[in-house]
Amino acid sequence: MNPVLAAQIGSNDKITGHMQRVSVSDRLANVERKLTLEDGSIFATADNDGVDELFRDHIRSNRFIHTLESHFGFVLAALAITLALTFAFFKWGVPWTSTKIAHSLPHKTNELIANNTLEFLDKYFFDKSKLDSKKIEQITRHFETRIIELEENLGEVDFKLSFRAWSYGDKGIPNALALPSGDIILTDTFVELSQTQDEIDAVLLHEMGHVMHRHSLQMVIKATMVTTVVMMVTGDSNGLADLGLGLGSLLVSSNYSRGHESEADIYAFEHMLKAKIDPQAFSDIMNRMTEYMLEPNKTKEKVKEVNKSNGESKRSNKVNGNSILDYLSSHPSTAERVELAEQYSECFKQSLKLCVIDVL
């Protein structure tokens, strides 16, 4: 037999209903409770203890939640767990998920994302290259005939070289950028700072590593996931358009993670051993670019002076991790990358094609 609830309304009217069919609102501190009967009638009362006692056999889950909400210690514990889970989601969950998604998508996705990116960069950052056409042809031919063939699993990736001038004020910026489609951009200042073809090859292989590991696609997926979560939590998308989710903005702001840079470095060093190129070349060009970037107000004409000083003593200017401005802030420190390159160089000197290195 179902117990019956009777509610008196006014002096004469009475409403009744089976207690098991009465909907009772959750208890939240001393907020007024609402009891909804079968016919839709609503009875409100501030006697929360009386409601809990009356419905003790029907709202146990509600009592449990109320117990949690009524103890400050439980609230703090729940908050700590929520913060820990949120941190874990952004620290490990988002990168892991973005990596899995990036590698599961077809290469056509990379081409679609990279579409119009070079035009964007040309419009807002780059100028036409001023390098000698013979120099451009020489680097391009070498890249196409010797470097690309080092990758045995190209699949649908079509690597191409582009040359651009990039400067900030009076100072040229030495850099190389790889679009997910396989387009690699070399800046004039980078080419001018490079003393040997091996140094250029080292950086080209590094950029190829970014493409083959789909790092740019991972960046876009990660940024999109974070933005979506923020929108879901806040319920407000105003201002989120300014996060710079365009691939061009992501590339020039150097948002590759520490892990991405290390992965691309190792890709380059392993292929350099395969091609019988000393990874010391990567160390040399990184040191030279760091010195150049640290030099205040350095103009294009001073590049030759940097080359000359480095030619006299390549090893004497080894970068100190505590005193340098890292080449592009989100990269691993230049000192760490140089040290890794020199470890691979030791393997090269021993004519090893496989180098086992402990990467921190």
The per-residue DSSP string of 331-342 comes to: SPPHHHHHHHHH
Same domain, 219 and 330: yes
Residue 180 has pLDDT above 90, yes or no: no
Q: How many helices (H) does the chain have, and how many strands (E)? A: 15, 11
Same domain, 238 and 155: yes
For the chain, the average pLDDT equals 77
Same domain, 249 and 334: yes
Residue 78 lies in a domain: no
Same domain, 129 and 251: yes
Residue 99 lies in a domain: no
Same domain, 142 and 279: yes
User: Residue 30: helix, strand or coil by DSSP?
Assistant: coil
What is the spatial distance between Cα 345 and Cα 277, in angstroms, rounded to a whole number? 9
Least confident of 33-47, 82-96, 120-134, 242-256: 242-256
User: Residue 239: helix, strand or coil by DSSP?
Assistant: coil
Same domain, 153 and 246: yes
Residue 254 has pLDDT above 60, yes or no: no
The pLDDT, as a whole number, for residue 105 is: 80
Nearest-CA neighbor of 263 among 214, 297, 226? 214
Last residue of a domain, one of 70, 85, 105: 70
Residue 7 per-residue DSSP state: E
The pLDDT, as a whole number, for residue 65 is: 61
Residue 311 lies in a domain: yes
The total domain count for the chain is 2
Same domain, 180 and 268: yes
Long-range contacts formed by 26-29: CB under 8 A, 24+ apart: 26/62, 26/65, 26/66, 27/51, 27/52, 27/62, 27/63, 27/65, 27/66, 28/66, 28/69, 29/69, 29/70
Residue 241 lies in a domain: yes
Distances (CA, A) of 269 to 54, 203, 258, 283, 309: 74, 10, 17, 11, 25
Strands 33-36 and 167-168: unpaired
pTM flag (> 0.75): no
Last residue of a domain, one of 70, 91, 126: 70
Same domain, 130 and 264: yes
**210, 247 contact by CB (below 8 A):** no
Same domain, 286 and 157: yes
Range of the domain at 331: 117-349
Q: Stretch 71-84: mean pLDDT, rounded?
A: 80
**277, 345 contact by CB (below 8 A):** no
Q: In this structure, what token pair is assigned to residue 50?
A: 């009386």
Confidence of residue 326 (pLDDT cuts 50, 70, 90): very low
Same domain, 151 and 28: no
| Better pLDDT: 82 or 346 | 346
The pLDDT, as a whole number, for residue 313 is: 42
Same domain, 187 and 249: yes
Confidence of residue 358 (pLDDT cuts 50, 70, 90): low
Q: Stretch 173-195: mean pLDDT, rounded?
A: 94
The pLDDT, as a whole number, for residue 16 is: 66
Residue 21 lies in a domain: yes
The pLDDT, as a whole number, for residue 159 is: 95
Residue 324 has pLDDT above 90, yes or no: no
Residue 92 lies in a domain: no
Residue 229 lies in a domain: yes
Interior/surface letters 322-358, b for 16+ CB within 10 angstroms, e for the rest: eebebbbeebbbbbbbbebbebbbebbeeeeeebeee
Last residue of a domain, one of 32, 47, 70: 70
Distances (CA, A) of 289 to 33, 84, 122, 179, 295: 69, 40, 23, 22, 10
What is the spatial distance between Cα 237 and Cα 36, in angstroms, rounded to a whole number? 37
Same domain, 128 and 276: yes
Q: In this structure, what token pair is assigned to residue 49?
A: 């203890």
For residue 131, give the amino acid letter.
L
Residue 303 lies in a domain: yes
Q: In this structure, what token pair is assigned to residue 168?
A: 């900030």
What is the spatial distance between Cα 261 and Cα 282, in angstroms, rounded to a whole number? 13
| DSSP class per residue in 72-115 | HHHHHHHHHHHHHHHHHIIIIIHHHHHHHHHHHS-HHHHHHHHT
Confidence of residue 309 (pLDDT cuts 50, 70, 90): low
